């Protein structure tokens, strides 16, 4: 592959520099670089270079992206939304491969270079969503890296065959196993966690558990997750997504939770949920050293029409909904959408540095804080050194 | 002025239609229209036609838009932020005429056709901001309509000469008089309200009062505003901006407030403030019939770097922060950013209808809810029938 020279880019520290890219990696960064004879030169016009955005929590298989507008009709409870989704998706008979491919085009256009997606596994859908998303992943591997969590959306212990399906999903290639509200959905805290952790041990995969249960139900679940993480030696391999409960505990109980998260190196995913749903005190957690990441969650699906799949806008929402105004705070939001997710996904050689993989995003902004505040649309996106999106449009061929 | 034919646009009811525009107004809407011989034809490509966006609460005079990135440094209290802003603006020595012109370019590009701006009036700045924004307004009257509220940012009764300045501001052309936290800033509830209402009576202008005071301090202020509105016969002429207190009252007290707002036809401006600040229960207020509108508030200024001046994104934030998912809810957010503001600004012949002024926005969306959810950037903007922005860029000449 021929090289690329990004001329006149702005580094995160504000310095202007040229970036030489070769073999899919950042070969050099400096003021005086000139293009190799076979290198294409791109005038970065002072745009800020950021590492590719990492969407650490998506549901690619269930988006309605690219289909006619679907007015939201689900009831307000988690259980109603799960059941309603099953009915709508079954009626629409959409293909998870096609739907995930549609959404991935949008994500690539907005600068996402890596996505961890929770893919439904359960008695109604079997492994169809998994295999569909895997086909999409194979077809798009030059454009975006996709990591799959086998996700028991409808519950684990209260549904038949889910454990076998989850185990098979991991055997079939899912990199992580998910869980969902062991108390609220399954009514079986120890049962679900024992089963999930057993599969993770047997197959050597990571764990990422959806935890919407609030208050003390959520806190007890975190305690039990931490216990198993310790006993099974899975330190650093476990994530908890949402963890709304951390936004509603009294300070002493919250400190107990923080101590557990730190001791067992459990990461927390939050996307600043809509409408007054409590969410973890992110700045406090970050100050204490808890690993944080973020994601789009469901994009234009039966859960909500509002999420967009734009991780710069997501960082903006994290900052906005947290009441952050200072650069250091806004940079934390961006870090959750970049390095935080990269760490959880186990990416190597990620970031804007010599030797790193050239998964990069260029945006017209002076500082990282401005990139978040303005989340401007004109974006140049590189995947392993190749341009995959320009001016807010992916260069992927249209699907139909 | 030659006419314009928008061919193949989507009306809010989903029907496809052509819109004929002549003399700055919508001359006809129908499936079978053809262009007059002198009319330019534009292929709307199925884009949704919306009325021009109305920014009902901005601070054009104080934005840092177009200047180097300014890291946020103000303290957390209202008083600290007011004092900090004064110091920063004084040190930067920016021109309110230039700054407001910079921001207006952005607003026009995003589809705002009308803006109500609160302009600082006070002992340090005198009427300089007012006169600067007025110069900008005169120079931009073919591009955007600007309504000015004379705004005593630093207080009314605790500062010298403010009442004289406010009175002079209205004489000089401000269409409305503002106020700010009579209890929290002035410590003089009756004094500030009496003075503000006296000027409004004397000069025949509207009233729009900033009310950040929380809980019962805010509720008492609303009671006293309502009393004066009744006594002075100003029904329908008074607005309250922010009214955070309405988001924190117990239900019976909230119902008292709603009854007062309805009886005296007082409008409420909310922009869904960041970071857990309480804000009015908008859906409930709308269901009861309270008039609601919204605005950008301060865009990239010393108060916060995060607001953007994009009223479709603002409608999205209203919906997101309110936890709205249904079309009817999301449409309420858009109504606050269009008809709600138009009503408060007293606009005549506003909206997508034959005979209306052709202040219009076309966006690639199927429904109003989708326009809010996606707040897509490619926008075609018409001001009195003339194209003023395309593809997210205003056609205004660059400032420098």
- Which tens digits make up the pLDDT trace of B111-142? 999 999 999 999 999 999 999 999 999 999 99
DSSP code, position A105: H
Check CB contact under 8 Å for B306 and A300: no
B370 in reach of chain A (CB within 8 A): yes
* Cβ proximity of A160 and A122 under 8 Å: no
DSSP code, position A124: T
Helix (H, G, I), strand (E, B) or coil at A228: helix
Q: Check whether A285 has a pLDDT greater than 90.
A: yes
Largest CA distance in chain A: 65
Could you tell me which of A329, A317, A378, A294 has the C-alpha nearest to residue A115?
A: A294
Could you tell me which of A98, A126, A105, A130 has the C-alpha nearest to residue A117?
A: A130
Check CB contact under 8 Å for A275 and B327: no
Complete domains list, chain A, with CATH: 4-51+351-390 (2.30.40.10), 53-344 (3.20.20.140)
- Which tens digits make up the pLDDT trace of A45-64? 999 999 999 999 999 999 99
- Nearest CA-CA distance, residue A284 and chain B, Å: 14
| CA-to-CA separations, B313 to A325, B46, B320, B337, B376, in angstroms, rounded | 18, 21, 10, 10, 9
- Which tens digits make up the pLDDT trace of B306-328? 998 999 999 999 999 999 999 99
B70 in reach of chain A (CB within 8 A): no
Q: Which residues of B211-245 are buried (b: 16+ CB within 10 A; e: fewer)?
A: bbbbeebbbebbebbbebbeeeebebbbbbbbbbb
A76 in reach of chain B (CB within 8 A): no
**Chain B positions in Cβ-Cβ contact with residue A327 (cut-off 8 Å):** 71-72
Q: Where are the beta strands (DSSP E) in B44-82?
A: 48-51, 53-58
User: Chain B residue with minimal CA distance to A14?
Assistant: B69
pTM: 0.97
Distance CA A338, CA A325 (A): 19
**Chain A positions in Cβ-Cβ contact with residue B366 (cut-off 8 Å):** 68-69
Could you tell me which of B358, B356, B352 has the C-alpha nearest to residue B335?
A: B352
Query: How many CB atoms lie under 10 A from the CB of residue A105?
Result: 24
DSSP code, position A38: T
- Which residues, numbered 282 to 311 in chain A, qualify as contacts with chain B under a Cβ-Cβ cut-off of 8 Å? 300, 304-306, 308
Q: How far separated are the first and last CA of chain B, in Å rounded?
A: 29
Q: Which residue has the tokens 């901005």?
A: B58
Q: Check whether A300 has a pLDDT greater than 70.
A: yes
Which of A326, A370, A377 has the CB atom closest to B377's CB atom? A377
**Chain A positions in Cβ-Cβ contact with residue B330 (cut-off 8 Å):** 305-306
Please, which residues have CB within 8 angstroms of residue A1's CB and are 6 or more apart in sequence?
A23, A24, A385, A386
Q: What is the distance, to the nearest Å, from the Cα of residue A159 to the centroid of all Cα atoms in its chain?
A: 27
Query: What is the rounded (10 degree) CA torsion for B61, B63, B67, B68?
Result: 150
Helix (H) or strand (E) holding A119: strand A112-120
ipTM score for this prediction: 0.96
Q: Residues of chain B whose pLDDT is less than 50?
A: none
Mean pLDDT of chain A: 95
**Chain B positions in Cβ-Cβ contact with residue A74 (cut-off 8 Å):** 325
Q: Check whether A78 has a pLDDT greater than 90.
A: no
Distance CA B296, CA B80 (A): 21
- Which tens digits make up the pLDDT trace of B236-292? 999 999 999 999 999 999 999 999 999 999 999 999 998 889 999 999 999 999 999
pLDDT grade for A38, boundaries at 50, 70 and 90: confident
B367 in reach of chain A (CB within 8 A): yes
Confidence at residue A147, expressed as pLDDT on a 0 to 100 scale: 98
Helices B189-203 and B162-171, packing angle to 10 deg: 20
Most A CBs within 10 Å, among B46, B69, B109, B308, to test the A interface: B69
B373 in reach of chain A (CB within 8 A): yes
Calculate what percentage of chain A has a pLDDT beyond 70: 99
**Chain B positions in Cβ-Cβ contact with residue A304 (cut-off 8 Å):** 325
| CA-to-CA separations, B106 to A289, B69, B111, B263, B390, in angstroms, rounded | 39, 16, 9, 38, 12
Check CB contact under 8 Å for A320 and B306: yes
Could you tell me which of B132, B238, B127, B96 has the C-alpha nearest to residue B179?
A: B238
* Cβ proximity of B60 and B100 under 8 Å: yes
- Nearest CA-CA distance, residue A259 and chain B, Å: 25
Extract the tokens encoding B165. Answer: 């300045």
A397 in reach of chain B (CB within 8 A): no
Confidence at residue B1, expressed as pLDDT on a 0 to 100 scale: 59
* Cβ proximity of A210 and A184 under 8 Å: no
Extract the tokens encoding B139. Answer: 């120079």
Check CB contact under 8 Å for A308 and B392: no
**Chain B positions in Cβ-Cβ contact with residue A319 (cut-off 8 Å):** 306
What is the DSSP code string of B254-299?
A: HHHHHHHHHHTT-EEE----STT-----HHHHHHHT--EE---BS-
Tell me the sheet residues that pair with A53: A112
Q: What is the mean pLDDT of residues A83-100?
A: 93
Check CB contact under 8 Å for B305 and A373: yes
Q: In what order do the strands lie in the sheet with A53-58?
A: A53-58, A112-120, A145-151, A176-180, A206-211, A238-242, A267-269, A292-293
Distance CA B16, CA A178 (A): 45
Q: In chain B, count H helices and then E strands.
A: 12, 17
Which of A276, A322, A369 has the CB atom closest to B275's CB atom? A322
For residue B260, the number of C-alpha atoms closer than 13 Å in the C-beta half-sphere is 23
Confidence at residue A1, expressed as pLDDT on a 0 to 100 scale: 59
**Chain A positions in Cβ-Cβ contact with residue B326 (cut-off 8 Å):** 71-73
Confidence at residue B275, expressed as pLDDT on a 0 to 100 scale: 84
**Chain A positions in Cβ-Cβ contact with residue B74 (cut-off 8 Å):** 325
Could you tell me which of A199, A140, A193 has the C-alpha nearest to residue A164?
A: A199
Confidence at residue A2, expressed as pLDDT on a 0 to 100 scale: 72
- Nearest CA-CA distance, residue A97 and chain B, Å: 23
Most A CBs within 10 Å, among B279, B325, B334, to test the A interface: B325
* Cβ proximity of B361 and B44 under 8 Å: no
Mean pLDDT of chain B: 95
Check CB contact under 8 Å for A324 and B373: no
Confidence at residue A399, expressed as pLDDT on a 0 to 100 scale: 87
Distance CA A60, CA A304 (A): 14
Could you tell me which of B292, B379, B284, B307 has the C-alpha nearest to residue B65?
A: B307
A248-257, A272-281, A363-372, B134-143: range with lowest mean pLDDT: A272-281
A374 in reach of chain B (CB within 8 A): yes
Could you tell me which of A114, A11, A70, A76 has the C-alpha nearest to residue A354?
A: A11
Q: In chain A, count H helices and then E strands.
A: 12, 17
A-B C-beta contacts closer than 8 Å: 93
As a whole number of Å, the CA-based R_g of chain B is 21
Which of A68, A306, A324 has the CB atom closest to B366's CB atom? A68
Which of B72, B323, B374 has the CB atom closest to A275's CB atom? B323
**Chain A positions in Cβ-Cβ contact with residue B277 (cut-off 8 Å):** 323
Q: Residue A328: left if φ>0, alpha if ψ -120 to 50, beta else—which one?
A: alpha
Check CB contact under 8 Å for B274 and A323: yes
């Amino acid at each position: 592959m021929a090289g690329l020279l990004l001329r006149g880019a702005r580094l995160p520290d504000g310095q202007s520099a040229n970036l030489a890219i070769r073999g899919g990696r950042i070969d050099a960064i400096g003021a005086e670089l000139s293009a190799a004879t076979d290198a294409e030169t791109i005038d970065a016009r002072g745009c800020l270079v950021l590492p590719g955005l990492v969407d650490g929590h998506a549901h690619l298989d269930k988006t309605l992206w690219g289909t006619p507008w679907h007015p939201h009709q689900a009831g307000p409870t988690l259980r109603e939304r799960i059941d309603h989704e099953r009915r709508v998706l079954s009626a629409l008979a959409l293909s998870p491969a096609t739907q995930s491919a549609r959404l991935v085009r949008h994500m690539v256009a907005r600068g996402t270079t890596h996505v961890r997606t929770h893919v439904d596994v359960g008695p109604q859908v079997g492994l169809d969503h998994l295999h569909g998303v895997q086909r999409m992943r194979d077809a798009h591997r030059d454009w975006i890296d996709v990591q799959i969590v086998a996700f028991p959306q409808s519950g684990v212990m209260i549904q038949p065959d889910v454990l076998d399906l989850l185990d098979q999903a991991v055997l079939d290639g899912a990199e992580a196993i998910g869980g969902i509200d062991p108390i609220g959905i399954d009514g079986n805290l120890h049962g679900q966690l024992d089963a999930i952790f057993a599969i993770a041990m047997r197959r050597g995969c990571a764990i990422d558990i959806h935890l919407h249960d609030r208050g003390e139900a959520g806190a007890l679940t975190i305690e039990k997750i931490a216990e198993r993480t310790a006993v099974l030696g899975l330190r650093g391999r476990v994530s908890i997504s949402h963890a709304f409960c951390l936004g509603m505990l009294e300070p002493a109980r919250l400190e107990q939770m923080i101590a557990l998260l730190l001791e067992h190196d459990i990461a927390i995913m939050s996307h600043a949920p809509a409408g007054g749903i409590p969410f973890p005190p992110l700045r406090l957690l970050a100050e204490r050293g808890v690993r944080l990441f973020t994601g789009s969650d469901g994009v234009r699906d039966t859960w909500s029409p509002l999420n967009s799949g734009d991780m710069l806008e997501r960082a903006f929402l994290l900052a906005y909904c947290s009441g952050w105004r200072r650069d250091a705070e806004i940079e934390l939001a961006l870090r959750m959408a970049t390095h935080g997710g990269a760490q959880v996904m186990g990416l190597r050689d990620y970031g804007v540095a010599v030797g790193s993989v050239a998964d990069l995003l260029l945006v017209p902004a002076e500082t990282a804080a401005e990139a978040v505040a303005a989340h401007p649309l004109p974006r140049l996106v590189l995947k392993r050194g190749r341009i995959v999106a320009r001016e807010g449009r992916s260069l992927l061929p249209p699907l139909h």
